[in-house]
Structure 1
Amino acid sequence: MASRSPGALLISRFLQFQPNRTKVILRRVNPLPLHRMDASVTSRKMKERDYLYSVVQNKYVTRRPEIECILTTHVDNLGARGQVVMVDRMLFRQYLYPTGAALYASPQNLAELKNLTEGTIMKTPHALQMYRLLCGMNLPIKMNHFKPWTLSKGHVMAAFRHQGIIIDSQESITLPQEPITNEHNEQVPFEVKVTVNGLDVATVTCYKQPYTTNPDREGELPASLSLPLHRPKEEVAEELKAEGLYYGTTDTV
């Protein structure tokens, strides 16, 4: 009969006594009274107050500490490529690390990151997200149809502000080379360029949306384009990646 090695026996016993992460540590609220030496331990019946416990530690709901990692690509609502961030362990192990979006922040990886990013301009976490958002916009610009006008940067800033996007300086806006006036065809869109943080130039699709302050002349307004304000971000990201203008993921974490 073959005998079991001490090492195998030791390993089997060790596996049997692995701590369970779902255990709950309790403390009795009311300590039990002392028993007489000449009396049996089971002679006293347990009362209701003896079954009251307080939770000391619940390892099932205890939040595990976050893990430090290096992002290798842009991730929405998390950070830009090259940033060192703290993320949830499950998020890192189930999504970021398997997809190659992040690496462990080991001393070796941190040293390589320092060499790669030395002398380069680091973008803010939301810069690429805003760049992708602008490239996928169909911006309507409301202009009075019955008064002469020429499109200016102030008109574009007002149109962005109406959609909840604030542009601080007119210098970041580049208008089309051919001036857009009130005679422009409402069915023909045009492009306006917006520079994000002085680095990325986003091309925004715009179209004229005629209006009037005179209610009696609303029936004379020509038909305008009916486009969604935002295109699907996955579609925009794939188009920009094909042109080499965008890197990163469109998933929100």
Structure 2
Amino acid sequence: MPVPSLSRTVCSQLLSLPLIACRRVLLRQNGTVQMVERVRSVNLYQDDKQPKLRSRHYIYRKIENPIPPPTEIEVLLTDHVDGLGIMGDIVKVPKKMWRNFLYQARLATYPTPENIADLNTEMKAMGDSLNILKKLGKYSRITLQRIRGLNLPVELVPSAKGWTLTKSHIRVALRKVGISATEDSITLPEDPNIHTPGEFIFTLTMNDVVALKVRATLVERPLVFMEETPADRIQVWNNPTVTPDDELSPVIRKFLTTPAIDINAYRQKPPK
């Protein structure tokens, strides 16, 4: 099938060259590269003469490009992008994400030596603030913003001998809502001897940098099957925050009050 966007004259001029007149040729048109081959080969000819081309020689079939164009590009992040990286990271992103989102929002630039040097100067001026953000990581803002509105249901089995709240109970309760934490990052309330169901406040420390007060509700686990347990009646997410903004450092306060960027939404559909 002939190539639709290329005239017969252009093909004739290209294929008349001695080096590419035999079988295949790369045709560049409107910034794209198409690789085609003749359906019927050209007869042998002398080097000092041009080949005799008939109409059947102008029929081509398109073949796969052996070197497909890259679909990703390396960019230098100039700000914290949730789920992607922090300031100064060089990451690979799809070209559509770079063109439709990162470039327009001025969150990234080309990793040229000049841009890297300018960004390093800006990062040095930030001092300890940048070190804190590096310790938090690229998923920290989304996680911390969700934790601030958490009301954690903690279930305990009723016992005639009584029970005592431990860090292990809170760690298991956090795992049930999708948060992985170690017992070292959990600080029990001042009076850990809680014996009755109700609300209490504990402290959760993330990466030894940010300590947030978290609301939790202690409930008794039913001994028989119930379609709706007391823990199911608790609103887990989107609750009023316990830690006020005044108790946070200026760096963390600015970091947490900035809306998180849902990078997965831009991977699926670019913004209008």
- 1:125 paired with 2:131, answer no
- Specify which of 92, 105, 114 is matched with residue 111 of structure 2: 105
SS at match of 2:220: strand
1:72-110 superposed Cα distances (whole Å, 9 cap, x missing partner): 12x222112342323233312321222232234343432
- 1:207 paired with 2:220, answer no
- Specify which of 188, 195, 198 is matched with residue 175 of structure 1: 188
RMSD: 4.1
Once residues 112 and 231 of structure 1 are traced to their aligned partners in structure 2, the CA distance between those partners, rounded to angstroms, is: 40
- The count of corresponding residues between Structure 1 and Structure 2 is 216
Matches within 5 A, 1:1-253: 19-22=29-32, 24-28=34-38, 30-33=40-43, 46=56, 53-57=61-65, 62-73=69-80, 75-118=81-124, 120=128, 121=131, 122-123=134-135, 124-147=137-160, 148-168=162-182, 170-179=183-192, 181-185=194-198, 189-213=199-223, 215=224, 223=230, 226-231=233-238, 243-246=253-256, 247=258, 249-253=260-264
What's the % identity of the aligned pairs? 22
Instruction: Determine if contact 1:69/1:104 at 8 Å carries over to the other structure.
Output: yes
By how many angstroms is 1:141 displaced?
A: 0.9
- TM-score (norm: length of structure 2): 0.61
By how many angstroms is 1:41 displaced?
A: 6.3
By how many angstroms is 1:155 displaced?
A: 0.9
1:153-180 superposed Cα distances (whole Å, 9 cap, x missing partner): 1111121233343323x22111222336
Instruction: Determine if contact 1:127/1:197 at 8 Å carries over to the other structure.
Output: no
Instruction: Determine if contact 1:141/1:159 at 8 Å carries over to the other structure.
Output: yes
Change (3 A) 1:199 1:46: same
Query: In the alignment, which residue of structure 2 is the partner of 1:6?
Result: none
By how many angstroms is 1:228 displaced?
A: 4.2
Instruction: Determine if contact 1:209/1:225 at 8 Å carries over to the other structure.
Output: no
Instruction: Determine if contact 1:209/1:224 at 8 Å carries over to the other structure.
Output: yes
Once residues 248 and 82 of structure 1 are traced to their aligned partners in structure 2, the CA distance between those partners, rounded to angstroms, is: 20
Unaligned 5+ segments in structure 2 are: 1-27, 46-51, 246-250, 265-272
Once residues 76 and 57 of structure 1 are traced to their aligned partners in structure 2, the CA distance between those partners, rounded to angstroms, is: 36
Change (3 A) 1:167 1:222: closer
- TM-score (norm: length of structure 1): 0.65
Instruction: Determine if contact 2:142/2:260 at 8 Å carries over to the other structure.
Output: no
Aligned partner letter, 2:201? E
By how many angstroms is 1:128 displaced?
A: 3.0
